[in-house]
Amino acid sequence: MAKTTPIVQGNTLVYQQQGHDQVLLVDTSDWYAWLATASTFAFTSDCGSFTARREQAGNKRGGWYWKAYRTQHGKLSSMYLGKSEALSLERLNEAARTLASVSDATGKGNARVDKAPPATNRVLDNPLLATKLHVPRPPQQLVRRIRLVEQLQQVTERQLTLIAAPAGFGKTTLLSAWFQDAHLSPAWVSLDSGDDDPTRFWSYALVALDAVHAGLGGRQITLLQSLQSPPLELIVTDVINRIAILPGAVVLVFDDYHVITAQSIHASLTFLLDHLPANLHLVIATRADPPLPLARLRAIGQLVEIRSTDLRFTREEAASFLAQTIGLEFSTGDIEALETRTEGWIAGLQLAALSLQGRKDISHLIQAFNGTHRFVVDYLTQEVLASQPADVQDFLLQTSILERLCGSLCEAVTGEPDGQVMLERLEEANLFLLSLDDERRWYHYHQLFAEMLRQRLLRTHSDRGKLLHQRASAWYAQHDLIREAVHHALAAADFALAARLIEDAAELMAKRGEIATLRSWLEALPAELLRSRVELGLWQGWLLALSGQYDTAERLLRDLEP
């Protein structure tokens, strides 16, 4: 007697067992138990019909899943359904509708709706990139960072893990390497600017969750992408309720969250954090702090924070990285020089390694490596500067002349108000700005970043440099910071201003014994200016005599204009 194919009609399954018809309802525990032993069944409803088959991934490592097939007008269509636990009645009807519409619309050839990887097949009208859902592969040349791994061990113990640092500090590499070593399978989403839309953002999140726990987000994706989608809070609420009953931990990762600006997305994520189930843990990697309740989470001990100060390579890590990258052992002096020049910035070390490959004069090149190097300029310009608003770019370029920055100094240099507000904005955006004090009054730019900005200022606005330095000099003079005032006057080539400042400070500098500084200032002034300003000429003659250069001092004094 021929074996009868089990069939689902409406919400009822009819199948044979030991020659007798058996009946059970779809979406019950008996249904899912039967699926675990079945290999095929037919499905028919008002939405359409298909034949489902249980198959295994070609590489034999992906486990078993169900796939739907429908033939119409001689054309074959197929669609990924999911694992057994994902085969709800709603999922079956959804597949029937999809296959019916594809079959009707196809005029020739085999129609397939399963070319994309399984996790994205169900989103036919708004395709998602499967590669954005994969945990990136760690680089082959990987430095194991035990001190940071210890912090990441808390991912499944805290509600939120925030990894915030500028471009090139190894945020994604750190996470991908840790997940690989920890044998965790997170729901991972690599965001880009196209995801700054609530529907697309949560579509990716739901598909990512569905990929690690089948059935977790499938129903909500359909609702989310419908013409009359429910409020985001309802979507998120359903996800919360579904995750809460799962037996194990779920880790949801958003990489490059800084591209998200939509307030509705921030609000929905805040809602999720406010009602987070105990077994769900969020990880956010970003260049800028997101507008989420970080202070509250920090206060209750539910926030893990890893920032640029943590991510910087130590001297030992830098040595290990360079040895792996170039295959050479560096001297302690070379390592210290590179670590100092890059301030532990990983991308900076990578760029340095690029420039050193195949070169013999390594020590010389290390000493010359700076923010004007072509690799550094290209990286920082393309990855950091170009993505900033015009007002931020202008502020960065103008204030790059400063070794240290504070609000009022920036206002004096740029001629714009709200200097402190802008500094805090840059700090929040992790734009290579480092605080020098606990009060967050004084800051400085990362060395390589500042050098790149100065080179760009010189290339694009060479006429502005003098005025900017003059403004900085005036501010420092008003605040009795004469060293800095003279420095900027000389940088502006405003020698008359520098001469006046030096005249006012010379006696005090001499009394303090700061002879070398005073000498360097005077030597920076043109000889004709020294001859025309008697007081400065006398100081120069005194310094020459002090160093035993009596003949030179005598000639200089004779040349002074009366």
Angle between helix 495-511 and helix 515-524 axes, rounded to 10 deg: 160
Q: Tell me if 344 sits within 8 A of 318, measured CB to CB.
A: yes
Alpha-carbon distance of 370 to 375, in angstroms, equals 10
- What domains are defined for the chain? 7-115 (no CATH), 131-311 (3.40.50.300), 315-369 (no CATH)
Say what the pLDDT of residue 306 is.
93
Convert 185-222 into a string of H (helix), E (strand) and C (coil): CCEEEECCHHHCCHHHHHHHHHHHHHHHCCCCCHHHHH
- What's the Cα-to-Cα distance from 358 to each of 17, 354, 355, rounded to whole Å? 72, 9, 8
Residues contacting residue 70 through CB under 8 Å, at least 6 positions apart: 48, 49, 50, 51, 76, 77, 78, 99, 100, 103
| Per-position pLDDT tens, the chain of length 562 | 445 788 998 888 888 887 777 888 888 888 888 898 888 989 988 888 888 988 865 444 456 788 888 877 666 777 878 888 888 888 898 888 877 776 555 444 444 444 333 333 333 334 577 778 888 877 666 677 778 888 888 999 999 999 998 777 888 888 988 888 887 889 999 888 778 888 889 988 998 998 888 777 766 777 776 646 678 888 899 889 889 888 889 999 999 999 898 898 999 999 999 999 999 999 999 988 999 999 999 999 999 999 988 888 777 777 777 777 666 666 777 767 766 666 666 666 666 665 555 555 566 556 655 545 455 656 566 666 777 888 999 999 999 999 889 999 999 999 999 999 999 888 877 677 877 666 778 888 876 678 788 888 988 888 889 999 999 999 999 988 888 899 999 999 999 999 999 988 888 878 766 777 788 888 899 988 887 888 888 888 888 787 788 877 777 777 765 5
Alpha-carbon distance of 269 to 291, in angstroms, equals 10
Q: State residue 251 phi and psi, 5-degree precision.
A: -115, 120
Strand partners, 358: none
Long-range CB contact pairs, 490-497, < 8 A, 24+: 490/521, 490/524, 491/401, 491/465, 492/465, 492/466, 492/467, 492/468, 493/466, 494/466, 494/469, 494/470, 495/525, 495/526, 495/529, 496/529, 497/470, 497/473
Strand ranges (DSSP E) for 58-138? 64-72, 75-82, 111-112
Tokens 């001859």 — which residue? 531
Alpha-carbon distance of 195 to 535, in angstroms, equals 66
Strand ranges (DSSP E) for 264-338? 280-286, 303-307
Q: Tell me if 398 sits within 8 A of 464, measured CB to CB.
A: yes
Strand ranges (DSSP E) for 46-186? 48-56, 64-72, 75-82, 111-112, 160-164
Instruction: Give the full edge-to-edge strand order of the sheet including 280-286.
Output: 187-190, 250-255, 280-286, 160-164, 303-307
Alpha-carbon distance of 443 to 407, in angstroms, equals 9
pLDDT in tens, 96-119: 887 777 655 544 444 444 433 333
Q: Tell me if 281 sits within 8 A of 234, measured CB to CB.
A: no
Nearest to 66 by CA among 47, 44, 87: 87
Tokens representing 342 are: 């890059």
3-state secondary structure of 532: helix
Tokens 């960065």 — which residue? 396
The count of C-alpha atoms lying within 13 angstroms of the C-alpha of 176, restricted to the half-sphere facing its C-beta, is 17
Task: Label residue 401 exposed, middle or buried (CB < 10 Å: 0-12, 13-18, 19+).
Answer: buried
Nearest to 195 by CA among 183, 204, 184: 204
Tokens representing 504 are: 């006012």
What is the identity of the amino acid at 443? Y
Buried b (16+ CB within 10 A) or exposed e, 341-353: bbbbbbbbbbbbb
Tokens representing 5 are: 């194919």
